[in-house]
A and B are shown apart, each in its own frame.
Chain A
Amino acid sequence: MDREKRNHLIRLFVAIAAVYGLVLVLELTMRPTHMLFTVLKKGAIYSLVAVSMNLLNGFTGLFSLGQAGFMLVGAYTYAIFTMPVEVKASERVYKYYDCIVGFDTGVFVGLLAAGLAAALFAFLIGLPVLRLKSDYLAIATLGFAEIIRAVFQWDVLGPLTNGANLLREFKDLSRITFPFTDIPVPQTFFVFVVCGICILLIVLLINSSFGRAFKAIRDDETAAEAMGINLFMHKELSFVISSFFAGVSGALLAMFQYTVQAQQFRSMLTYEILLIVVIGGIGSISGSCIASFLYIALSEWWLRGLDMGTFLGIHAEHIFRSGFRRLAFSVIIMLIVLFFSRGIMGDKELSWARTSARLRRIFRKKEAV
């Protein structure tokens, strides 16, 4: 390994460690109900699903709109796996059905199962649909997501999924503790660790020989095939891996929300994630992450005032009424889509060298002015 590269890695590692340290310190010192933590948790979860979508859309060139469906599978699997047996047996959650699942597992088994279940669904769905091209693939995956949603709401499966009703009282973020103790795990830190590991795995995959094959497929299918890359196998692989992480993020979303219901995993959720990927830059992992945090912070926190009468100190109840936040938000999105269609990062990654160069340029310009 040459020196430049090693230095780069060390700097990267230090930066990431600093972020994690900061999160941990903030969490231990600040009021835990502060909106900041909601944004950090949800932002991290959306980062993971955005990166997983980016793996498909940005790195393999498969235009899939099935993300919401796989998140649903993951969320339900996690909830069903980790819900304590006595809750399942009681009337509290399975009100109209008798739950047929007679076991419960820990958090990590649950998360793993969530990913595996989503991956299994993806494997089966991929067999027919990955033969389709571009828009047709998008529509077919969108359709499958809708079908998955309907299946999970079907009352015949009620003893397993509680029909279309809410699932709750599983091991959500407020109920997880360190193994063998009663000490609660710092919630935001936990989400960051899980999402961080998953994103790291995706990055390693992209930089492996598989990743190079994915990119070759994205750039030119015919050429890739001529080079001896098994198109279908690699597409299926990318689809399954992406869905695995979508499933994990679905499970995390369920943990974060404390409840989960099939209804919420509509195509709108997929569009939202797609918007994040595009805003961040198609083909940029760090772009997806930055965009997720910005997106969540804007929609959940910073623009809230637009709905509640007062924004940036301006009080106007008749303009800033319910719904204005979403209107303003969609105008911002439209502006980004129209004028910055390459997104925040384009297809580049965040790097120290580039950032410092850019900052230097900006400051030099300011001095000149």
Chain B
Amino acid sequence: MKKKTFLLAMVLLSCAMVFAGGSGESDSTVVKIGVFEPASGDNGAGGKQETLGIQYANALTPTVAVGDKEYTVELVLADNESSNDRAASAAATLINAGASVVLGSYGSGVSIAGSDTFRVAGVPVIGITCTNPQVTEGNSHYFRICYLDPFQGTVLANYAYNTLGARKVYCLAKLGDDYSGGLVNYFVEQFTALGGEVVSETFPEGNSDFTSYIANAKNGGCEVFFSPVSTEAAQLIINQSASQGLGMPILAGDTWDSNVILQAALGKDVDITVTTFYPEGADPEFDASFKEWVNADSTRLSNNGGDDTISAVTAMGYDAYYFALQAIQNAGSTDPADIMEALWTTEIDGVTGHIALDQVNGDAIRNTVYVKHANTETGGWDALPAVVVD
């Protein structure tokens, strides 16, 4: 009897679901933009902040003119869970939902892992803050509006060698993570070219005990601790460096430009410097209205990490949305193939600067890296001189 009920329930459920789960056929005046971002996992915090930027831009400009018709923009969100093996199915969800163009992702690994699913479906993707070169290399559907790791790594290595005067650096990356692994690789290349020495290690997935790595850095006589890992690991590293008395500056890349880091560092004896895409205060108008928007809703506030600090990824997400709108407008169509074609020549002036793409891989042409230092007393960022490379 039990089994029969069960079978019957299963059959009914299946029938109901086939209809419920079917992709919504799109309305003729709606254009869908997919948001391929992590909302959970290692990079959940950053992904949520990037998504906020996109949502804010969407709230400001909910329509786009295609030809002579006004289309409503609908955001479709899919959580890639910061996990490379979930990336493909999140990407398939977006494609199934009929996204014309996709934005994302925070985290290079998931971007690379999801890339081929988009390629096969012929849907263009605009990478927002995925800095690893492999994201756009050798394909024509993945674009990106931020700078790349070889550039960021070089700037960081120069900073460590010249500004901090370090000659031996401890590098810590996460095993199998394209972002931290790639950035460390480019950092090491440049730093050793300058004549410095590095100790490079990786930690496995799920590790939360960093005390031994910190001890390795101390015992190895290193002068700078370079660890461009996810914010989730960063919290632990900051916390444990303070209690273990690390006693050297910590240097990291764009992921660390987050209020998660500020909150972890508040009141602790740590010295943290990060490189990033956008310094708060560069566009006061954007800052003020974004803060107002975030503070107006408790969900937005908690997605932003509990306060109204503006992360660079939020500003980048905001720009990415307008970049996508511009491309749709230029294409004069909502067809993914037309948008892909139009993206190559799209240009906008965003809050993070002028954005135009090169014609090789579709990467943004950028020459400025902003540098920030965590203020452990006020819990805010202090801006350091930006680095401009010609």
> Using a CB–CB distance below 8 Å, which chain A residues touch chain B?
33-35, 38, 42, 90, 92, 95-96, 150, 153, 155, 163-166, 168, 172, 174, 256-259, 261-264, 266, 294, 297-298, 300-302, 304-305, 307-308, 311-313, 318, 322-323, 339-340, 342, 344, 358, 361-362
Residues of B within 8 A of A95 (CB): 134, 182, 185
> Using a CB–CB distance below 8 Å, which chain B residues touch chain A?
2-4, 6-8, 10, 13-14, 16-18, 20-21, 23, 39-40, 76-79, 83-85, 88-89, 92-93, 95-96, 109, 112-113, 115-117, 119-121, 134, 137-138, 175-178, 181-182, 185, 202, 204-205, 299
A35-B21, A258-B117, A344-B7 as given contacts; A322 in contact with B96, CB under 8 Å: no
A38 nearest CB neighbor, chain B only: B92
4 closest Cβ pairs, A-B complex: A164-B176, A258-B116, A264-B85, A302-B17
A143: min CB distance to chain B, Å: 15
User: B112–A164 contact, CB under 8 A?
Assistant: no
User: A33–B138 contact, CB under 8 A?
Assistant: no
User: A305–B88 contact, CB under 8 A?
Assistant: no
User: A307–B89 contact, CB under 8 A?
Assistant: no
B388: min CB distance to chain A, Å: 27
User: B176–A263 contact, CB under 8 A?
Assistant: yes
User: A33–B4 contact, CB under 8 A?
Assistant: no
Q: How far is the CA of A164 from the CA of B180 in the complex (A)?
A: 12
A263-B84, A307-B79 as given contacts; A301 in contact with B176, CB under 8 Å: no
Q: How far is the CA of A258 from the CA of B85 in the complex (A)?
A: 10
B interface secondary structure, majority: helix
Q: How far is the CA of A174 from the CA of B122 in the complex (A)?
A: 12
A33-B92, A34-B96, A362-B8 as given contacts; A308 in contact with B77, CB under 8 Å: yes
B10 nearest CB neighbor, chain A only: A294
Residues of B within 8 A of A163 (CB): 176, 181
Residues of B within 8 A of A33 (CB): 92, 95-96, 120-121
Pick 29 A–B contacts, CB within 8 A, sort by A. Answer: A33-B92, A35-B21, A90-B138, A95-B134, A163-B176, A164-B181, A164-B202, A257-B88, A258-B117, A259-B113, A261-B85, A261-B113, A261-B176, A263-B205, A264-B84, A294-B14, A298-B17, A300-B89, A300-B92, A302-B18, A304-B21, A305-B20, A305-B21, A307-B78, A308-B77, A311-B20, A313-B20, A340-B2, A344-B7
A259-B88, A263-B84, A264-B85 as given contacts; A165 in contact with B21, CB under 8 Å: no
Q: How far is the CA of A36 from the CA of B340 in the complex (A)?
A: 26
Residues of B within 8 A of A258 (CB): 88, 115-117, 120
A153-B176, A258-B116, A312-B20 as given contacts; A318 in contact with B299, CB under 8 Å: yes
